[in-house]
Amino acid sequence: MTAAASSDADLIAAHAAGDPHAFSELVRRHRDRMWAVALRTLRDPDEAADALQEAFISAFRAAAGFRAESQVTTWLHRIVVNACLDRMRRRQTRPTVPLPEAGPGEPVSPRDAMAERETRLVVQAALNELPEEQRAPIVLVDVEGYSVAETAQLLGIAEGTVKSRCARGRAKLAKVLGHLRNQGADANVPVNDVQVQQGRQLEER
């Protein structure tokens, strides 16, 4: 069986047994998804790249202890999220870095594209203002689509804690972004796929 045809668990086992190519294949499969998680959590490409590198180094070293109690992707997500949270804690005292403007070039529909870009910048800035304990579960549940149970496992906290932190984070986002929601009946506020819903029930998901 070739590396490309092997399951994730097989690759982990092969890596632990000394296969020099198995872990590289695992990284190739999941790098893009893990990068998206890191970037959405940290909101800084340089920080995300560093966190992802740290996470894969940690995974490389810890792979021999993988016990298949969860899926390999869940295991990798947990390592990436933990690496991101570590970096967030280390940079807590640093000033917020302004989000960069889009590159040069005129959009096909200037007014619509500009309004969408400005809206996304406002939303991203609002997400940046959330405490890390609220941002991480919101990214996992609302952006990545994980269930409350899966998010609790990834973050190592109780399901009720995930629900309450998501609820508090959504409430803050809804307050900050309320003016965007009221711009029109057809207004759609993108939160990098997070839909801020006032009154969303804690039991959801």
149 contacts: CB under 8 Å, gap ≥ 6: 159
For residue 5, give the DSSP letter: G
Q: Are 30 and 76 in contact (CB under 8 A)?
A: yes
- Cα torsion at 75, 79, 85, 87 (round to 10°)? -160
Residue 172 pLDDT: 87
Helix, strand, or coil here: 25?
helix
Say if residue 191's pLDDT is above 70: no
Give tens-digit pLDDT for 91-140: 654 444 444 444 444 444 444 666 666 776 776 677 778 887 888 888 78
Residue 157 pLDDT: 87
Give tens-digit pLDDT for 56-102: 999 999 988 887 777 898 889 889 988 988 887 776 544 444 444 44
Give the C-alpha separation, 158 to 163, whole Å: 9
Q: Are 98 and 124 in contact (CB under 8 A)?
A: no
pLDDT band with cut points at 50, 70 and 90 for residue 187: very low
104 contacts: CB under 8 Å, gap ≥ 6: none
Q: Look-up: residue for tokens 């190519």?
A: 21
